[in-house]
């Protein structure tokens, strides 16, 4: 990020994601495995708003509310009880299709990644899915993904209460308009430019005449991340809290 | 009756070559000692079902050449990174992958649990997973109530499932706590093999507090004691994962040679000398 900033890249991304989920419609945020930045953002918002939204971190102990096995988070989302979920992608294209499986000509992939996890379901049923992928390059943001783990758009005869709403990268925040089937640039990271976003994105995006700067982390939020919220984060993601926030478990 | 066996090797002998073997998720009661025993016995042509995500156990079995096919929603070492032997085997075409997605794996087992041939699942349509799954079927709402299209997932019945638990009793009842996916796996599998930290005399069904977290022996084919049997993974409220050891595996298993050395050290150490 900007060299003389008094916050880290991780802190910037946490506060950026937090602003996208601190809306009144969000009552329950669920966070999947190995997602410390989205998880931290959810815990920060919960602290700021005095306990709302509910935050379920599926690999935590006390922060994991589920008692009915691995299927419960999916059943819970299918019931409409999860308002926000985060997904990433080895590749993401302009129609918000995500690929978590591999690059090359499936099934003879050149490079194999873990797999689709629960994306092919959660993307359909959670109203506000936030795509989170810090690396903003043409390697990630491709014209067409090599494998659709989960599609960004669906035909009208497919029941789909959920879908992509935002994309957060190290360069910018974009929104996704399902009606027009494309991303729109909302704001650019301080010190970075619209041209950089365009140059590093392999698909067309809508770029308004004036693009705001993404806000820097608010001082009181930084203070929380480095103290009480940081300690909550450390309970679930000890390595991340130590290395990225300087908070010990 | 649940058989209580004397050794891990006796248990490993009950997993036949070519079996469809269900593995629990990495955070949940993974029988690593039994996985090592399976590798030592030279298990072959296994079809693995990861429920729904595989980790070190699946990666080691694949790297050791025990696996012909893997059905998974993902295989990953989590914070350590990619599952290196899985990725390499797929890239080199040495293992067949059937890609799935987490709730589809749960649904397929729930169908078996209920004794029905398939179950519907929402979402999914438009994913390439559906496109490459000839065994799944997209149909119009069969009840004609205007709910649009839906995917039918066929039941999966594992030949064998394996888990590691902190505790069992003499009747073969096994503590699973809130890891209810282990109950689903147990209900669906033909054979369930369990390793435990210890076997106690008092029945887990004697009090409601323990009965609520118990899997009845009805579903447990055989069990054996294996103290520290989930190591280097963790066992909730008993021991934490050995993060250094997991990171070491993640590094060494990046190359075939490094993986072989890891197996020699952690799986075969001692046994080769004893056999000579």
Q: What angle do CA A13, A43, A171 make, to 5 degrees?
A: 10
CB contact under 8 A, B181 and A119: no
Report whether pLDDT(A249) > 80. no
pLDDT tens readout for residues B208-267 = 999 999 999 999 999 999 999 999 999 999 999 998 999 999 999 999 999 999 999 999
Q: Does a cis peptide bond (omega within 30 degrees of 0) precede residue A65?
A: no
**pLDDT tops 90 at residue B47:** yes
**Chain A residues 54-83 with CB within 8 Å of chain B:** 59, 61, 66-72, 74-75, 78
d(CA B105, CA B99): 10
Closest CA to B265 of B39, B73, B49, B44: B39
pLDDT at A27: 96
Q: Is the pLDDT of residue B8 over 90?
A: yes
Residue B46 three-state SS: strand
Averaged pLDDT of chain A: 94
Which residue in B has a C-alpha nearest to residue A66's C-alpha?
B178
With a pLDDT cut of 70, the percent of chain A lying above it is 98
Secondary structure element (H or E) that encloses residue B251, with its range: helix B243-252
Torsional class of B216: left (φ above 0), alpha (ψ -120 to 50), beta (otherwise): beta
User: For chain A, what are the domain ranges?
Assistant: 9-245
Query: Which pLDDT value is given to residue B273?
Result: 53
A177, B100, A237, A68: CA torsion to nearest 10? 100
Mean pLDDT, rounded, for B113-137: 98
The pLDDT, as a whole number, for residue A248 is 78
Residue A34 with chain B: CB contacts under 8 Å = 78-79
Interface size, chain A vs chain B, as Cβ–Cβ contacts under 8 Å: 144
**Mean pLDDT, rounded, for B30-48:** 98
Q: How far is residue B180's CA from residue A158's CA, in Å, rounded to a whole number?
A: 31
DSSP H/E element including A109: strand A108-112
* Whole-number Å distance between alpha carbons of B79 and A34: 6
Shortest alpha-carbon distance between residue B16 and chain A (Å): 27
Query: Residue ranges per domain, chain B?
Result: 3-102+157-268, 118-154
> Is the CB of residue A102 less than 8 Å away from at least one CB of chain B?
yes
Is the separation of the CB atoms in B121 and B103 below 8 Å? yes
User: Top-level CATH class of A9-245?
Assistant: alpha beta
Q: What are the pLDDT digits (tens) for B54-88?
A: 999 999 999 999 999 999 999 999 888 999 999 99
Averaged pLDDT, A181-209: 98
Q: Tell me whether residues A71 and B106 touch, CB distance under 8 A.
A: yes
Do the Cβ atoms of A114 and B103 come within 8 Å? no
SS3 state at A108: strand
Helices (H) and strands (E) in chain A, counts: 8, 12
Place of tokens 């209460």: A161
Q: Note whether A69 contacts B128, CB cutoff 8 Å.
A: no
Cis preceding linkage at B232, omega within 30 = yes
Looking at the DSSP assignment, which residues form a beta bridge with residue B264? Answer: none
Sort out which chain B residues have CB atoms less than 8 A from A150's CB and list them.
Answer: 127
Asked whether the predicted pLDDT for residue B182 surpasses 90, the reply is: yes
Which pLDDT score, from 0 to 100, does residue A93 have? Answer: 98
A66-100 residue pLDDT tens? 999 999 999 999 999 999 999 999 999 999 999 99
**CA–CA distance from B27 to each of A148, A172, A200, B191, B234 (Å)?**
27, 34, 37, 22, 7
B199 lies within 8 A of chain A by CB: no
B50, B72 Cβ separation under 8 angstroms: yes
pLDDT at A1: 46
**Percentage of residues in chain A with pLDDT exceeding 90?**
84
Q: State how far the Cα of A6 lies from the Cα of A124, in Å rounded to an integer.
A: 39
What ipTM does the predicted assembly reach? Answer: 0.95
Please state the rounded mean pLDDT for residues A176-204. Answer: 97
Whether B181 and chain A come into contact, CB under 8 Å, resolves to: yes
The CATH architecture one would assign to domain B3-102+157-268 is: 3-Layer(aba) Sandwich (3.40)
User: Dihedral of the CA atoms A8, A12, A13, A19 (nearest 10)?
Assistant: 160
């Amino acid at each position: 990020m900007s060299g003389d900033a008094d916050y880290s890249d991780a802190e910037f991304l946490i506060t950026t994601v937090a602003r996208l989920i601190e809306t009144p419609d969000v009552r329950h945020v669920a966070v999947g495995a190995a997602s410390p930045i989205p998880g931290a953002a959810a815990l920060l918002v919960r602290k700021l708003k005095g306990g709302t939204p509910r935050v379920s971190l599926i690999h935590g102990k006390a922060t994991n509310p589920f008692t009915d096995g691995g299927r419960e988070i999916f059943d819970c989302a299918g019931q409409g009880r999860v308002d926000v979920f985060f997904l990433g992608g080895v590749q993401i294209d302009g129609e918000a299709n995500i690929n978590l499986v591999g690059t090359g000509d499936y099934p003879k992939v050149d490079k194999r990644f873990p797999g689709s996890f629960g994306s092919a379901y959660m993307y359909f049923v959670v109203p506000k899915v936030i795509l989170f992928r810090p690396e903003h390059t043409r390697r990630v943001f491709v014209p067409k993904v090599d494998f659709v783990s989960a599609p960004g758009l669906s035909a009208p005869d497919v029941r789909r209460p959920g879908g992509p709403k935002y994309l957060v990268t190290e360069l910018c925040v974009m929104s996704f308009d399902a009606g027009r089937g494309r991303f729109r640039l909302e704001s650019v990271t301080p010190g970075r430019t619209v041209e950089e976003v365009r140059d590093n994105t392999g698909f067309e995006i809508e770029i308004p005449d004036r693009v705001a700067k993404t806000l820097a982390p608010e001082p009181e939020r930084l203070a929380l991340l480095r103290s009480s919220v940081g300690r909550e984060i450390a309970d679930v993601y000890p390595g991340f809290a130590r290395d990225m926030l300087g908070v010990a478990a | 009756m649940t058989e209580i066996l004397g050794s891990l090797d006796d248990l490993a002998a009950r997993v036949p070559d070519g079996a469809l073997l269900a593995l629990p998720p990495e955070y949940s009661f993974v029988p690593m000692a039994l996985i090592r025993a399976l590798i030592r016995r030279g298990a072959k042509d296994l079809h693995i079902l990861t429920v729904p995500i595989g980790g070190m156990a699946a990666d080691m079995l694949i790297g050791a050449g025990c696996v012909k096919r893997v059905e998974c929603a993902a295989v990953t070492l989590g914070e350590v990174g990619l599952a290196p032997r899985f990725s390499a085997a797929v890239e080199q075409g040495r293992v067949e992958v059937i890609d799935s997605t987490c709730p589809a794996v749960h649904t397929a087992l729930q169908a078996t649990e209920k004794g029905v041939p398939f179950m519907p699942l929402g979402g999914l349509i438009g994913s390439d997973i559906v496109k490459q799954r000839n065994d799944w079927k997209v149909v119009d709402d069969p009840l004609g109530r205007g709910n649009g299209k839906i995917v039918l997932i066929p039941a999966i019945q594992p030949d064998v499932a394996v888990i590691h638990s902190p505790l069992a009793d003499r009747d073969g009842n096994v503590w699973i706590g809130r890891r209810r996916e282990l109950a689903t796996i147990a209900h669906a599998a033909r054979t369930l093999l369990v390793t435990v930290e210890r076997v106690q005399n008092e029945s887990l069904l004697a009090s409601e507090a323990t009965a609520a977290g118990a899997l009845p022996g009805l579903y447990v084919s055989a069990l054996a004691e294996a103290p520290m049997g989930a190591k280097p993974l963790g066992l909730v409220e008993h021991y934490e994962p050995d993060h250094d050891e997991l990171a070491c595996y993640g590094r060494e298993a990046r190359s075939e040679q490094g993986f072989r050395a890891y197996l020699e050290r952690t799986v075969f150490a001692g046994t080769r000398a004893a056999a000579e």
